[in-house]
A and B are shown apart, each in its own frame.
Chain A
């Protein structure tokens, strides 16, 4: 009995010591994490006041070089504050508002530096500078509140988690929301783009559930005997569609069709795939046949990529006027390596047909455009987004740079004003 008592006492003491040690470790870890959060919070706070000053300073100069230096600072600082804020647990909504506001401010600075439209900047920024000052003050007040938590992680998390509502960041959240909409309203191109992704241009008649299933059976005869489960998109979805899940033997998947007109959004099947039997050439040929069967007769092959089970083959709509490829109207197909069965189709972009404004292509002398050690291998005419929601006629150049090892680049150049829109390193 005595022995048991001794063993039990030792065990209790041991467990107690272990638990104290564990608790200590946990507290150490929490303090480290909280120190990092506080550091990022302080960092964001400081950089925010630098950002406000940079915006204000950008309004001082007429000299182009001086204003460029301030615009660079605005772009850099807005990006740095974004990074700091992204690493702090301050709640999704507030974080989103900050990201949006700072991202738009940075983009505006970048765009001004590129286009040289300083007048628009000078007109807009005095108000933004004042707003930033008040945001910076609110933020500082909110962060001071957090320093009072005495290094307690749970208090911080409760405050940001809406479990224990606290006004600490509410002022910042409300102010940001108001400023965000006022300071950076959607541009015309952006709102057009928004309408496009909401599929507002679709004017076709609404199809019924039954018609939707018939359409699926027609487009994808391989699942014509499947069991279908149809649900309609939620009322709050940006565009109404049918979500059709199916099951046929080894095949399990879904098709999404728009409610207006029953246009294919996407199709995906999951099934076991056996050993590859088809060559790349055969797969591409099959994919081309599938585009015709799906009613996409105005597309051309762009590229293909092989993986474990399937090939992903990409097509793009061909502009009827100049035969340039419209990359924004792309179609992707997934083709099984064993039998060439269509395992997936994505036509989300294809059905949102771009409206292309007429543009002229001015020739470029590649010898003077690139350095001497760059060889132009291929040039293709394409339409692509210029980053401001406009489709531009471009030259897509595949260029090779000689060196110790050859390097390949894909360069997209606006065909009219010769601005370089994209540079990609290819391996």
Chain B
């Protein structure tokens, strides 16, 4: 009986060691589709690229490029073609590809340009020290701790997010969260107004428009809270209720700003149209 137990334990141990690495790193059990973001999407993109279905940047954002690649994979492997990475699709992907999570994450964190095609040595697929992310490299901006970029609505870019987060942090870091979203919303309201430059950069750097630009505080590193505030504003929130200006009544020197119709006060800032 003891011998049987030892034998059973031995077989179990060997079978655990024998599980291929790709399965050990397989996805979480959640199904993902367009709009998703994070580790599961990084793995999905890497595995699709390993099999040459996905040719764009591995960025952890499930957009259309990932969607078409996934559909092509599903079609080729006889799965229902729905662009959703569910249990069956993930299993088929994990069984047919390899995923070196540590390596992929290391490249993302280092901001290296890289690809992850199967059958090609990994060290030949990376360009070190490039800050623009990987292969297609057409966007720059902030990444979080696992190297995944933030998702913003299609009409905005990562650069817009970064620049606005800098402006919000420089202008309103001591304000309540609502006040930070409102400052971001004012910048976006100006973008829609014919009275202001028609780019986010043009609005922020318009001479005399923002104190943070004049005193250099715009160059401080923004925190996650400021970025979150910008993301909320980009997604439509506007606690300023359509304001085009704001000012701190304790420090404002311009007489003209007092002539603007006021809307509401949040923290230290009065918002006006």
For A348, the chain B residues whose CB sits under 8 A away are 236, 238
Nearest to A267 among chain B residues (CB) is B237
For A148, the chain B residues whose CB sits under 8 A away are none
Nearest to A345 among chain B residues (CB) is B237
Pick the contact of A308 from B32, B150, B208, B238 — CB < 8 Å? Answer: B150
Binds B, one of A94-102, A112-120, A213-221: A94-102
Decide: A93 and B144 in contact? CB cutoff 8 A: no
Alpha-carbon distance between A280 and B236 when the two chains are bound, in angstroms: 21
Decide: B56 and A231 in contact? CB cutoff 8 A: no
Residues of chain A from 105 to 150 with CB closer than 8 A to chain B in the complex: 107
Alpha-carbon distance between A400 and B67 when the two chains are bound, in angstroms: 12
For B272, the chain A residues whose CB sits under 8 A away are 236
User: Please, what's the 1-or-0 string for B241-272, where 1 marks a CB less than 8 Å from any CB in chain A?
Assistant: 11001000000011111000111111000001
Binds B, one of A52-60, A249-257, A389-397: A249-257
Decide: B36 and A280 in contact? CB cutoff 8 A: yes
User: Please, what's the 1-or-0 string for A198-215, where 1 marks a CB less than 8 Å from any CB in chain B?
Assistant: 000000000000000000
For B154, the chain A residues whose CB sits under 8 A away are 410, 424, 426
Decide: A280 and B237 in contact? CB cutoff 8 A: no
Nearest to B176 among chain A residues (CB) is A252
B193 to chain A minimum Cβ distance, whole angstroms, is: 8
Q: Size range of the interface on A? A: 35 or more
Decide: B35 and A304 in contact? CB cutoff 8 A: yes
Alpha-carbon distance between A162 and B253 when the two chains are bound, in angstroms: 9
For A90, the chain B residues whose CB sits under 8 A away are 207
Interface status of B195 (Cβ within 8 A of chain A):
yes
Interface status of B55 (Cβ within 8 A of chain A):
yes
A345 to chain B minimum Cβ distance, whole angstroms, is: 9
B55 to chain A minimum Cβ distance, whole angstroms, is: 5
Binds B, one of A10-18, A238-246, A362-370: A238-246
Decide: B35 and A241 in contact? CB cutoff 8 A: no
Decide: A334 and B202 in contact? CB cutoff 8 A: no
For A89, the chain B residues whose CB sits under 8 A away are 207-208
Nearest to B237 among chain A residues (CB) is A346
Decide: B177 and A237 in contact? CB cutoff 8 A: no
A residues near B (Cβ < 8 Å) are: 82-83, 86-93, 95-97, 99-100, 103-104, 107, 160-163, 197, 231, 233-234, 236-239, 241, 243, 245, 252-254, 256, 265-266, 268, 270, 276, 279-281, 303-309, 311-312, 314, 330, 332, 334, 344, 346, 348-349, 398, 400, 405-406, 408, 410, 424, 426-427
